[in-house]
Amino acid sequence: MLQSQFLWYALAAGILVALVSGPLGCFAVWRRMAYFGDTLAHSALLGVTLGFALHLMPTLAVGATCCGLALILVYLQQRQQLSLDTLLGILSHSMLALGIVAVSLFEIRVDLLSLLLGDLLAVSSRDLLLMSTTAALIAALMYFLWDKLLAFTLHEELAAVEGVPVVRVRLALMLMLALLIAIAMKVVGVLLITALLIIPAAAARKLSNTPERMAALASAIGCLAVVLGLAASVLWDTPAGPSIVLSAGIVFLFCQFRKN
């Protein structure tokens, strides 16, 4: 009975993340922000370390760290002295190095395997409540900002001329991605977060002719990957996070064989 409860918690957590990562992944694909996801994921080690040091839930600490990094990135982008990929390269490796140094300074023992690959089967009711709240917040923001996000994505300068608050929309998108990274860490780990964000959206692109259809299909493909990956994990005793990402990759390959 207890094992069954853990499985239902894991399934619910995975589907929650897949539902919100679908539309956000579409924006990441459209705006070519895959490296941004990696940069945020690299800050997760620092967030986990600060969480232990300050006696906070790791998910909350990671979320706060990722949001802080997103704010720093928006500020640096406004200065326009370096290209985005250069900024991401600097911040990505700096945050990873800072996390490693923080682990050494605070002498905290971190389960690196679960951090890197996720620990979906260890999701508790408290984790699920926090993930549900965060996913609902992300979904609400996307609903209210959808048209502005699309305009910003299609043509940033034209959107600014039409009155779209480009800086605030960019900040909102980055903060939503930061919050998603925080809750997805438990599902697939920091190594595979970007894959869960990008692969379903890339698969849905082949099957879609409107942005809304692509977002919906990305969420559906993500949910399918969660179900297949979790089933494989239970049947063959494979790690849940990598199994989910591998399932998403297989679905992506099948979609590539579909004729336009």
The pLDDT score that the predictor gives to residue 123 is 86
Q: Give the chain's domain count.
A: 1
Which pLDDT belongs to residue 38? Answer: 81
Is the entire prediction scored with pTM above 0.85? yes
Q: How confident is the prediction along the chain (260 residues), in pLDDT tens digits per residue?
A: 445 777 888 899 999 999 999 999 999 999 888 788 888 888 888 888 888 888 888 888 888 998 998 888 888 877 766 777 788 888 888 988 998 888 888 777 767 677 777 888 788 888 899 999 999 999 999 999 999 999 999 888 888 888 899 889 989 998 999 999 888 888 888 778 888 899 999 999 988 989 999 999 999 999 999 999 999 998 998 888 999 999 999 999 998 886 55
Q: Judge whether 87 lies within some domain.
A: yes
Is 220 domain-assigned?
A: yes
Per-residue pLDDT, 1: 45
The CATH number given to whatever domain includes residue 195 is: 1.10.3470.10
HEC letters along the chain: CHHHHHHHHHHHHHHHHHHHHHHHHHHHHHCCCHHHHHHHHHCHHHHHHHHHHHCCCHHHHHHHHHHHHHHHHHHHHHHCCCCHHHHHHHHHHHHHHHHHHHHHHHCCCCCHHHHHHCCHHHCCHHHHHHHHHHHHHHHHHHHHHHHHHHHHHHCHHHHHHCCCCHHHHHHHHHHHHHHHHHHHHHHHCCCCHHHHHHHHHHHHHCCCCCHHHHHHHHHHHHHHHHHHHHHHHHHHCCCHHHHHHHHHHHHHHHHHCCCC
Q: Can you give the pLDDT at residue 2? A: 43
pLDDT of residue 200: 96
Does some domain include residue 144?
yes
171 within a domain of the structure (yes/no)? yes
Residue 107 lies in a domain: yes
Could you list the residue range(s) of the whole structural domain that residue 96 is in? 2-255
